[in-house]
């Protein structure tokens, strides 16, 4: 019993000693923690002071360059102007260049969303570029310019287009300027669902450019693009529309691929089409004057019409003034399209006779400016070329001239040829009775 009692007493003594040691270590631990906290505080203060000094040093370093004497607001304007410039190298990205000049410029660039709002892409092999720009552009309105790689095969081009639309379409609601250039027509088919749903997909789209870079492209793989004219024309005359689209540029893209409401508020129409081929097939598209007139009738607010190296195939004529006048059976009788707000036509390169035939079909009482660069007929293959424009060898050229073209408000008439320039300003009235008068 004594042995057990002594052992218990020894244990109690050892426990008491251990507790005392623990208390000592707890106090030491608290002291160390206090010291560490003080050291951490001192370290944080040192880091903060260092950062302030580094920022000051960077500021002093930046002040070596006079441009950095400008306030940040002015630097942003300069950077914005720089990013708006066009460069031949499509991979030269001004916002990235600016952000790699100095810490100050990088901080400004990354905190200025509008610097990243212009996205230029060639192909879609590098989606990270688009994602970076979309992220850094914040909520800014976007200008997107996409073009296919010239070396891509047809299936690759379509695949890249699908990938591009899948990634970028989520931000289409921020796009106010969109330019798409494809080598072949088929990729446009993938875009049309978004165009048809423009009210949701493109509520802010102001400018649209659609281009096919291949000369005289075949639509054999995309026949739907050239078969929609009748369906569109069955639509009623355009009613008031909430479309924001004011500028439309088409390069070799068939006219009738847009909802009437989408184009009804247009102010500027810019067209380019390759000359019609002699042996064209039903898979080829060429601009006909009848189609152009019908399309223009859907744009009642149009103010400017631009035809770049484009002459439509003349398949129309106004109704005869006199019932005794014979009408060429090859031509469709149409009244001139009335464009109340059209103020300017800029046209290259019609032949002399084309000018009168074209203007005969345009009823624009508010016309103020005509800028036309007339091309001379080539010395060879004249009849073949005229046939491609709708002139028939059995018909007298005077048969195409009907009445006097009158633009009472015309103030600026510029007629240019390869041999000279004629410019008339503020004429009281310009009347053209025959194409010969415009040479």
pLDDT of 393 higher than 80: no
Helix residue spans in 89-223 (DSSP H)? 94-99, 103-110, 127-136, 154-168, 186-196, 198-201
pLDDT digits (tens, 9 = 90+) for 196-250: 999 999 999 999 999 999 998 999 999 999 987 777 666 655 567 899 999 999 9
Residue 62's pLDDT is what?
A: 73
C-alpha closest to that of 347 among 286, 305, 291? 305
Alpha-carbon span 264 to 149, nearest angstrom: 33
C-alpha closest to that of 384 among 279, 287, 278, 298? 278
pTM value is: 0.81
Average pLDDT over residues 379-390: 65
Q: What is the 8-class DSSP label of residue 214? A: S
Q: Tokens representing 26?
A: 């707890």
- Mean residue pLDDT of the chain comes to 86
Most confident stretch, 106-120, 270-284, 328-342: 106-120
Residue 352 parent element (H or E): helix 352-360
Residue 9's pLDDT is what?
A: 82
The model's confidence at residue 267, banded by pLDDT at 50, 70 and 90, is: very high
Alpha-carbon span 145 to 130, nearest angstrom: 11
Most confident stretch, 52-61, 84-93, 125-134: 125-134
DSSP string for 363-414 = E-TT--EEEEEPPPPPSSSHHHHHHHTT--TTS-GGGG--S-EE-TT--EEE
Q: What is the 8-class DSSP label of residue 422? A: E
**What's phi and psi for 207, nearest 5 deg?**
-125, 135
Residue 354's alpha-carbon distances to 99, 363, 378, in angstroms, are 53, 16, 14
Q: What is the 8-class DSSP label of residue 258? A: S
- For the chain, the structural domain boundaries read 16-64, 66-116, 124-401
Contact yes or no for 187/158 (Cβ under 8 A): yes
3-state SS record for 52-103: HHHHHHHHHHHCCCHHHHCCHHHHHHHHHHHHCCCCCCCCCCHHHHHHCCCH
Alpha-carbon span 98 to 112, nearest angstrom: 12
Q: Tokens representing 8?
A: 């218990």
pLDDT digits (tens, 9 = 90+) for 22-42: 999 999 999 999 999 999 999
Alpha-carbon span 113 to 140, nearest angstrom: 6
Contact yes or no for 233/257 (Cβ under 8 A): no
**What's phi and psi for 425, nearest 5 deg?**
-120, 145
Contact yes or no for 303/237 (Cβ under 8 A): no
Provide the β-strand partners of residue 212.
182
Alpha-carbon span 429 to 258, nearest angstrom: 37
Alpha-carbon span 439 to 431, nearest angstrom: 14
The model's confidence at residue 253, banded by pLDDT at 50, 70 and 90, is: very high
C-alpha closest to that of 386 among 285, 439, 313? 313
For domain 66-116, the question of CATH label 1.20.1280 is answered with: yes
Residue 87's pLDDT is what?
A: 87
Most confident stretch, 97-106, 140-149, 310-319, 430-439: 140-149
Strands 412-417 and 420-425: antiparallel
Name which residue leads in pLDDT, 51 or 435.
Answer: 51
Each as own residue / partner, the long-range contacts of residues 43-46 (CB below 8 Å, 24 or more positions apart, any chain) are none
Residue 88's pLDDT is what?
A: 83
């Amino acid at each position: 019993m004594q042995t057990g009692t002594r052992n218990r007493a020894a244990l109690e003594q050892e426990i008491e000693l251990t507790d005392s040691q623990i208390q000592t270590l707890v106090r030491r631990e608290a002291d160390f923690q206090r010291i560490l906290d003080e050291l951490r505080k001192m370290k944080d203060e040192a880091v903060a002071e260092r950062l302030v000094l580094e920022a000051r040093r960077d500021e002093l370093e930046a002040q070596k360059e006079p441009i950095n004497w400008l306030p940040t607001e002015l630097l942003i304007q300069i950077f914005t102007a720089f990013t708006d410039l066009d460069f031949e190298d499509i991979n030269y990205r001004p916002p990235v260049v600016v952000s790699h000049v100095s810490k100050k410029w990088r901080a400004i660039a990354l905190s200025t969303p509008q610097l990243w709002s212009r996205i230029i892409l060639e192909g879609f092999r590098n989606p990270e570029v688009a994602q970076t720009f979309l992220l850094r552009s914040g909520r800014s309105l976007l200008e997107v310019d996409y073009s296919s790689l010239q070396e891509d095969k047809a299936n690759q081009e379509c695949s890249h287009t699908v990938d591009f639309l899948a990634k970028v379409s989520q931000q289409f609601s921020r796009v106010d300027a969109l330019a798409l250039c494809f080598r072949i027509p088929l990729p446009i088919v993938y875009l049309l669902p978004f165009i048809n749903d423009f009210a949701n997909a493109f509520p802010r789209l102001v400018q649209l450019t659609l281009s096919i870079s291949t000369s005289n492209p075949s639509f054999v793989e995309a026949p739907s693009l050239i078969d929609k004219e009748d369906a569109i024309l069955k639509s009623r005359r355009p009613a008031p529309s909430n479309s924001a689209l004011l500028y439309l540029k088409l390069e070799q893209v068939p006219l009738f691929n847009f909802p009437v409401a989408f184009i009804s508020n247009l102010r500027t129409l810019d067209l380019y089409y390759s000359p019609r081929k002699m042996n064209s097939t039903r898979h080829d598209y060429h601009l006909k004057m009848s189609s152009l007139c019908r399309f223009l009738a859907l744009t009642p607010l149009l103010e400017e019409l631009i035809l770049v190296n484009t002459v439509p195939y003349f398949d129309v004529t106004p109704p005869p003034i006199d019932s005794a006048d014979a009408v060429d059976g090859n031509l469709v009788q149409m009244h001139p399209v009335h464009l109340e707000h059209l103020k300017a036509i800029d046209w290259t390169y019609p032949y002399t006779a084309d000018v009168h035939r074209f203007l005969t079909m345009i009823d624009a009482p508010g016309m103020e400016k005509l800028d036309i660069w007339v091309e001379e007929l080539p010395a060879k293959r004249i009849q073949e070329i005229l046939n491609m424009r709708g002139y028939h060898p059995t018909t007298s050229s005077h048969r195409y001239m009907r009445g006097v073209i009158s633009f009472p408000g015309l103030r600026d008439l510029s007629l240019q040829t390869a041999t000279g320039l004629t410019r008339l300003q503020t004429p009281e009235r310009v009347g053209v009775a025959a194409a010969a008068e415009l040479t």
